[in-house]
């Protein structure tokens, strides 16, 4: 299926966390981090997932996505096969008017990075923006998690891509 998403930085002076109706820990790695055929292994809370994504459309908005839930023991075994550069983050799910925003606070080598995504049904769907939403970075490859696994945020100060 095709996934349509828009991605934004989060203003780090904001207190977006207290608006969350759910908070989950995510650990994920990549069996392939190439943007043309990303294969991701994820543990989200007590669930495991295997997700395959294709190349983004030219506007960066949509992308083929296939996902299957797997047992957490399988996800743990598959994480051991992944490329170096596992990503850890806390995900806050926030309802704002008619949409759910997923706000990610990264840990480890990506500490300091805050990213929010909203999934849309159509490319031109309107949505209300909470006041903690910053610059839009949809389609910017350096904010892809697969990119962050290879070039983590903490290294951007020295070598901004």
Identify the active-site residue in 30, 92, 96, 144.
30
Residue 64 interacts with its own copies (CB under 8 A)?
yes
Select from 25, 45, 77, 112 the one that contacts its own copies (CB under 8 A). 77
Q: What phi-psi label fits residue 93: left (phi over 0), alpha (psi between -120 and 50 degrees) or beta?
A: beta
144 is catalytic: no
Give the integer Cα–Cα distance in Å for 56 and 37: 10
State the minimum distance, in angstroms, from the CB of residue 97 to its own copies.
Answer: 33
The DSSP output letter for 148 is: H
Which runs of E-coded beta strand occur in 11-148? 22-32, 37-44, 47-56, 62-70, 87-96, 99-106, 114-120, 133-136
Residue 84 interacts with its own copies (CB under 8 A)?
no
Active-site residue set: 30
What does the binding site for its own copies look like in residue numbers (CB under 8 A)? 31-32, 36-37, 39, 50, 52, 54, 64, 66, 68, 70, 74, 77-78, 80-83
């Amino acid at each position: 299926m095709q996934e349509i998403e828009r991605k934004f930085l989060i203003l780090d002076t904001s207190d977006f966390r207290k608006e969350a109706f759910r908070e989950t820990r995510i650990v994920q790695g990549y069996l392939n981090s190439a943007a043309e055929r990303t294969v991701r292994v994820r543990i989200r809370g007590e669930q495991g997932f295997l997700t395959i994504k294709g190349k983004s459309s030219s506007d960066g908005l949509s992308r083929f996505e296939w996902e299957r839930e797997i047992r957490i023991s399988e996800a743990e075994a598959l994480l051991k096969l992944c490329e170096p550069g596992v990503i850890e983050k806390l995900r806050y799910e926030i309802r704002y008017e008619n949409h759910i925003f997923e706000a990610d606070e990264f840990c480890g080598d990506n500490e300091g990075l805050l990213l929010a995504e909203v999934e849309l049904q159509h490319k031109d769907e309107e949505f209300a923006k909470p006041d903690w939403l910053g610059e839009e970075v949809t389609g910017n490859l350096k904010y892809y998690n697969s990119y962050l696994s290879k070039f983590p945020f903490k290294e951007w100060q020295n070598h901004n891509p």
